[in-house]
Amino acid sequence: MANILCFHLYFFVLYTFLCQTPMGADNSGFTIQLIRHNSPNYSPFYKSDELHMHRLGSNGVFTRVTSNNGDYLMKLTLGTPPVDVYGLVDTGSDLVWAQCTPCQGCYRQKSPMFEPLRSNTYTPIPCDSEECNSLFGHSCSPQKLCAYSYAYADSSVTKGVLARETVTFSSTDGEPVVVGDIVFGCGHSNSGTFNENDMGIIGLGGGPLSLVSQFGNLYGSKRFSQCLVPFHADPHTLGTISFGDASDVSGEGVAATPLVSEEGQTPYLVTLEGISVGDTFVSFNSSEMLSKGNIMIDSGTPATYLPQEFYDRLVKELKVQSNMLPIDDDPDLGTQLCYRSETNLEGPILIAHFEGADVQLMPIQTFIPPKDGVFCFAMAGTTDGEYIFGNFAQSNVLIGFDLDRKTVSFKATDCSNQ
């Protein structure tokens, strides 16, 4: 994730938690299902006199995952005996890490931290190992262990020791599914824009230490897919993350665009040619030649960030095609495009034109409610040269990342029914 929790506009500091639950597991891969934080379906935040668990299918694995403020948290169960860790799902970074004891200078965490000394399967990685050398920012501790310092674009930082650990998933037949020797960071000093529900980050980028790459060695292919429920969907709705062969995106309506990222490179870069507002095409560049790989698909950033000049032209066309007057008298909303409405807008419909793939974006994916009776455009302009297709726009789209074929596939999907 390039910009973890970095969208500072007023209305994106609010709202939801989401949870996930892995569904089907076999030798070819497995699926993880996301659940709203207040959902009766496995959510650890749902308040009830009795926890009702129901089977998800024969031999399927499941786990819980949470999300807040537009980010998605996936549950990993680490160690022996197992400890539940909820980490931010991030396609813009590689490292899988959790806050570990002893933890000095760490952010406040609601749940107990992972205690490596209590795990029988925790194995620190030496500083002369291949895994250590593959991580930028590593060093050698006095004990000759692989010490790391891993930073994010929003200035969040995790520092700790690289280690191997066992990851356990529950299964619907009652038998645990154990994946051994997963490399992760045991963070002993962590700071940044985290909140008390975040216990770390699950890196799903293209680098060698990401969870995708590590699972690829187990399931024979480096690919995964995600289907995220919309930001303000019903709390009972579910979404999924699938790995290996279970992540195939196929059938009618699939469109694919080339991955511009090189092998082993973290970000998933694709080429956005422009965005249509209704029948009007707004180009990414008004005059310059279009650059390949000009935007990153990042599950760890809620909003979509576009070049300021492109964004301004896009907003201008949105205003032309809307039959409503934008809000201009609310200082809390700043300069973002917002409308007063009790329900989400009926239009206009946008189409993101990636190279070889057109992705339709309905208002539920492009307008977000910061407060009752207000909906605001979920995109922003930037001049820093880093452009991001955020997770608001990714919702209700089955997106497949295939690192072997170097493609990203899109299929319009009701992610609540996955």
Q: Of 173 and 94, which is predicted with more confidence? A: 94
User: Does residue 371 carry a pLDDT above 60?
Assistant: yes
Exposed / middle / buried, residue 331 (Cβ in 10 Å: 0-12, 13-18, 19+): exposed
Strand residue runs (E) in 146-268:
146-151, 157-171, 177-191, 200-203, 223-227, 238-244, 255-258
Which residues fall within 8 angstroms of residue 6, CB to CB, at 6 or more apart?
Answer: 153, 154, 193, 301
As its CATH architecture, domain 10-246 has Beta Barrel (2.40)
Do 10-246 and 249-417 show the same overall fold? yes
Please tell me the CATH code under which domain 249-417 is placed.
Answer: 2.40.70.10
Question: Cα(186)–Cα(184) distance, rounded to whole angstroms?
Answer: 6
What is the pLDDT, as a whole number, of residue 219? 67
Domain borders along the chain are 10-246, 249-417
Note if 298 is an active site residue. yes
Q: Which of 71, 198, 298, 402 is catalytic?
A: 298
Mean pLDDT value across residues 92-119: 94
Pairing outcome for strands 407-412 and 397-402: antiparallel
Q: What pLDDT sits at residue 289?
A: 84
Residue type present at position 179? V
How much is the pTM?
0.83
> Helix or strand or coil: residue 196?
coil
* Residue 154 annotated in active site: no
Please determine, for residue 52, whether its predicted confidence score (pLDDT) is greater than 60. Answer: no
Catalytically annotated residue among 90, 94, 198, 402? 90
Range 108-127 average pLDDT:
95
Confidence at residue 75, expressed as pLDDT on a 0 to 100 scale? 80
High-pLDDT (> 90) share of the chain, %: 54
Residue with the larger pLDDT of the pair 11 and 225: 225
- The predicted-structure confidence for 1-15, as pLDDT tens digits, reads as follows 654 433 333 333 333
Return the higher-pLDDT residue of 21 and 294: 294
pLDDT per position as a tens digit, 259-293: 998 877 889 999 999 999 999 999 999 877 899 99
Q: What is the mean pLDDT of residues 86-102?
A: 93
Strand-strand pairing, 255-258 and 407-412: antiparallel
